[in-house]
Chain A
Amino acid sequence: MTGKVTVTLKVNGRTFSADCEPRKTLADFLRQDLGFTGVHLGCEHGVCGACTISVDGSTARSCCMLAVQAEGTEVTTVEGLASDGNLHPLQEAFWKHHGLQCGFCTPGMLAAASELLEDNPDPTADEIREGISGNLCRCTGYQFIVDSVQDAAQHLRSTT
Chain B
Amino acid sequence: MSTPTRTEQNLGADIAGGVGESPLRPDGTLKVTGEFAYSSDLWLTGMLWGATLRSPHPSARIRSIDITEAVRTDGVYAVLTHDDVPGDNLYGLEHADQPVLAGDVIRYQGEAVAIVAADHPETARRAVNKIVVDYEVHEPLTDPEQAVFDSTAPALHEGGNVLRHLPIRRGDPDATADVVVHGEYEVGMQDQAFLGPESGLAVPADDGGIDLYIATQWLHVDQKQLCRVLGMPANKVRLSLAGVGGAFGAREDLSMQAHACLLALQTGRPVKMMYSREESFFGHVHRHPAKMRYEHGATRDGKLVYVKAQIILDGGAYASSTPAVVANAATLGVGPYKVRNVSVDCYGVYTNNPPCGAMRGFGAVQAAFGYESQMDKLADALDMDPVEVRTRNALHEGATMPTGQVVDSAAPVEELLERVKAMPLPPEPNASDLDGYDLRLLPGGVSNTTHGEGVRRGVGYAIGIKNVCFSEGFDDYSTARVTLKVNGGDAVATVYTAAAEVGQGLVTVQQQIARTELGVEQVVIQPADTGVGSGGSTSASRQTYVTGGAVKAACEQVRARVLRQAAKHLDLPASQLRLHAGKIVSADEAVVAAVVDVLGGETITETVTWRHRPTHPLDENGQGNAHVQYAFAAHRAIVDVDVELGLVRVVQLDCAQDVGKAMNPDAVVGQIHGGSAQGLGLAVMEEIQVSGGMVRNPSFTDYLIPTILDMPPMQVDVLELADPNAPYGLRGVGEPPTISSTPAIVAAIRHATGADLTRVPVQPHHITGTP
Could you list which residues of chain A lie within 8 angstroms of chain B, going by C-beta atoms? 1, 31, 36-45, 47-48, 50, 77-79, 81-82, 87, 91-92, 94-98, 100-107, 110, 125, 129-130, 132-146
Q: Do A77 and B707 contact each other (CB < 8 Å), given the known contacts A42-B277, A43-B699, A143-B673?
A: no
Per a CB cutoff under 8 Å, which of A82, A92, A95, A143 touches B713? A143
A44-B276 Cα distance, complex, nearest whole Å = 7
Per a CB cutoff under 8 Å, which of B34, B246, B701 touches A79? B34
Q: Is B197 an interface residue (CB 8 A)?
A: yes
Q: Is B171 an interface residue (CB 8 A)?
A: no
Q: Is the CB of B709 within 8 A of A133?
A: yes
Most-contacted residue by chain A among B28, B440, B713 (CB, 10 A): B28
Q: Do A104 and B245 contact each other (CB < 8 Å), given the known contacts A37-B41, A87-B29?
A: yes
Could you list which residues of chain B lie within 8 angstroms of chain A, going by C-beta atoms? 22, 24-25, 27-29, 31-38, 40-41, 43, 122, 192-197, 243-248, 276-277, 440, 502-505, 666-667, 669-670, 672-678, 699-701, 705, 707-709, 711, 713-714
Contacts A136-B195, A138-B194 known; 12 new A-B pairs at CB < 8 A: A40-B40, A44-B276, A47-B700, A78-B33, A87-B32, A95-B28, A103-B245, A133-B709, A138-B248, A139-B246, A141-B672, A144-B666
Per a CB cutoff under 8 Å, which of A82, A101, A125, A142 touches B711? A142
Q: Is the CB of B40 within 8 A of A103?
A: no
Q: Which residues of B contact A125 (CB under 8 A)?
A: 713
A102-B38 Cα distance, complex, nearest whole Å = 10
Per a CB cutoff under 8 Å, which of B34, B196, B197, B709 touches A129? B709
Q: Which residues of B contact A137 (CB under 8 A)?
A: 195, 708
Q: Which residues of A contact B700 (CB under 8 A)?
A: 42-43, 45, 47-48, 136
Q: Is the CB of A104 within 8 A of B246?
A: yes
Q: Is the CB of A41 within 8 A of B40?
A: yes
Q: Is the CB of A101 within 8 A of B670?
A: yes
A110-B40 Cα distance, complex, nearest whole Å = 20
Q: Is the CB of B24 within 8 A of A141?
A: no
A132-B29 Cα distance, complex, nearest whole Å = 21
A77-B33 Cα distance, complex, nearest whole Å = 9
Q: Is the CB of B36 within 8 A of A103?
A: yes
| Closest chain B residue, CB of each to CB of A104 | B245
Majority-rule SS of A interface residues: loop
A69-B172 Cα distance, complex, nearest whole Å = 73
Pull 23 A–B residue pairs with CB atoms less than 8 Å apart, ordered by A. A42-B197, A42-B700, A43-B700, A45-B701, A47-B700, A77-B34, A79-B34, A91-B32, A98-B669, A101-B674, A102-B194, A103-B36, A104-B245, A133-B707, A133-B708, A136-B707, A139-B246, A139-B503, A140-B670, A141-B714, A142-B677, A142-B708, A146-B713
Most-contacted residue by chain B among A41, A100, A146 (CB, 10 A): A41
Shortest C-beta distance, A36 to chain B (Å), equals 7
Q: Do A42 and B503 contact each other (CB < 8 Å), given the known contacts A37-B34, A102-B244, A132-B708?
A: no
Shortest C-beta distance, B673 to chain A (Å), equals 3
Q: Which residues of A contact B669 (CB under 8 A)?
A: 98, 144
A42-B29 Cα distance, complex, nearest whole Å = 21
Q: Which residues of B contact A136 (CB under 8 A)?
A: 195, 700, 705, 707
Q: Is the CB of A44 within 8 A of B277?
A: yes
Shortest C-beta distance, A125 to chain B (Å), equals 7
A133-B445 Cα distance, complex, nearest whole Å = 12
A91-B669 Cα distance, complex, nearest whole Å = 20
Most-contacted residue by chain B among A100, A102, A132, A144 (CB, 10 A): A102
- List of 5 A-B pairs having minimum Cβ-Cβ separation, nearest first: A38-B34, A102-B503, A141-B673, A103-B31, A104-B245
Q: Is the CB of A140 within 8 A of B674?
A: yes
Q: Is the CB of A98 within 8 A of B667?
A: yes
Q: Do A40 and B245 contact each other (CB < 8 Å), given the known contacts A95-B29, A104-B38, A129-B708?
A: yes
Q: Which residues of A contact B246 (CB under 8 A)?
A: 101-102, 104, 138-139
A41-B40 Cα distance, complex, nearest whole Å = 9
Shortest C-beta distance, A35 to chain B (Å), equals 8
Shortest C-beta distance, B293 to chain A (Å), equals 32
Shortest C-beta distance, B667 to chain A (Å), equals 7
Q: Which residues of B contact A37 (CB under 8 A)?
A: 34, 37-38, 40-41, 43
Summed over the interface, the residue pairs from A and B with CB atoms below 8 Å come to a total of 169
Q: Do A38 and B33 contact each other (CB < 8 Å), given the known contacts A103-B503, A125-B713?
A: yes
Q: Which residues of A contact B711 (CB under 8 A)?
A: 141-143
A31-B195 Cα distance, complex, nearest whole Å = 17
Q: Is the CB of B33 within 8 A of A79?
A: yes
Q: Is the CB of B32 within 8 A of A40?
A: no
Q: Is the CB of B33 within 8 A of A81?
A: yes
Most-contacted residue by chain B among A39, A92, A139 (CB, 10 A): A139
Q: Is the CB of B28 within 8 A of A138?
A: no
Shortest C-beta distance, B164 to chain A (Å), equals 30
Q: Which residues of B contact A135 (CB under 8 A)?
A: 708
A101-B246 Cα distance, complex, nearest whole Å = 8
Q: Is the CB of A105 within 8 A of B670?
A: no
A48-B708 Cα distance, complex, nearest whole Å = 12
A98-B664 Cα distance, complex, nearest whole Å = 11
Per a CB cutoff under 8 Å, which of A40, A43, A134 touches B38? A40
Q: Which residues of B contact A87 (CB under 8 A)?
A: 29, 32-33
Q: Is the CB of B705 within 8 A of A144?
A: no
Q: Is the CB of A79 within 8 A of B32?
A: no
Q: Which residues of A contact B701 (CB under 8 A)?
A: 45, 47
Q: Do A138 and B705 contact each other (CB < 8 Å), given the known contacts A45-B277, A101-B503, A102-B503?
A: yes
A45-B698 Cα distance, complex, nearest whole Å = 12
| Closest chain B residue, CB of each to CB of A101 | B503
Shortest C-beta distance, B503 to chain A (Å), equals 3
Shortest C-beta distance, B499 to chain A (Å), equals 15
Q: Is the CB of A38 within 8 A of B503?
A: no
A26-B157 Cα distance, complex, nearest whole Å = 46
Q: Is the CB of B34 within 8 A of A98?
A: no
Q: Which residues of A contact B32 (CB under 8 A)?
A: 78, 87, 91-92, 94-95, 100, 103, 106, 110
| Closest chain A residue, CB of each to CB of B679 | A141
Q: Do A101 and B505 contact each other (CB < 8 Å), given the known contacts A77-B34, A138-B194?
A: yes
Q: Which residues of B contact A140 (CB under 8 A)?
A: 670, 673-674, 677
Q: Do A79 and B29 contact each other (CB < 8 Å), given the known contacts A44-B277, A138-B194?
A: no
A81-B35 Cα distance, complex, nearest whole Å = 12
Q: Which residues of A contact B43 (CB under 8 A)?
A: 37
A114-B82 Cα distance, complex, nearest whole Å = 50
Q: Is the CB of A106 within 8 A of B31?
A: yes
Shortest C-beta distance, A28 to chain B (Å), equals 9
Q: Which residues of A contact B502 (CB under 8 A)?
A: 102
Q: Is the CB of A141 within 8 A of B27?
A: no
Q: Is the CB of A141 within 8 A of B676?
A: yes
Q: Which residues of B contact A105 (CB under 8 A)?
A: 195
Q: Which residues of B contact A142 (CB under 8 A)?
A: 673, 677, 708, 711
Shortest C-beta distance, B736 to chain A (Å), equals 14
| Closest chain B residue, CB of each to CB of A24 | B122
Q: Which residues of A contact B675 (CB under 8 A)?
A: 141
Q: Which residues of A contact B33 (CB under 8 A)?
A: 38, 78-79, 81-82, 87, 91
| Closest chain B residue, CB of each to CB of A47 | B700
Q: Do A45 and B666 contact each other (CB < 8 Å), given the known contacts A40-B196, A40-B245, A138-B193?
A: no
Most-contacted residue by chain B among A1, A104, A129 (CB, 10 A): A104
| Closest chain A residue, CB of each to CB of B681 | A138
Q: Which residues of B contact A47 (CB under 8 A)?
A: 699-701
Q: Which residues of A contact B122 (CB under 8 A)?
A: 1
Q: Is the CB of A95 within 8 A of B25?
A: yes
A26-B276 Cα distance, complex, nearest whole Å = 16
A38-B40 Cα distance, complex, nearest whole Å = 11
Per a CB cutoff under 8 Å, which of B25, B440, B503, B708 touches A145? B708
Q: Which residues of B contact A48 (CB under 8 A)?
A: 195, 700
Q: Is the CB of A42 within 8 A of B699?
A: no
| Closest chain A residue, CB of each to CB of B676 | A141
Shortest C-beta distance, B322 to chain A (Å), equals 24
| Closest chain A residue, CB of each to CB of B40 | A41
Q: Which residues of B contact A110 (CB under 8 A)?
A: 32
Shortest C-beta distance, A59 to chain B (Å), equals 15
Q: Is the CB of A130 within 8 A of B709?
A: yes
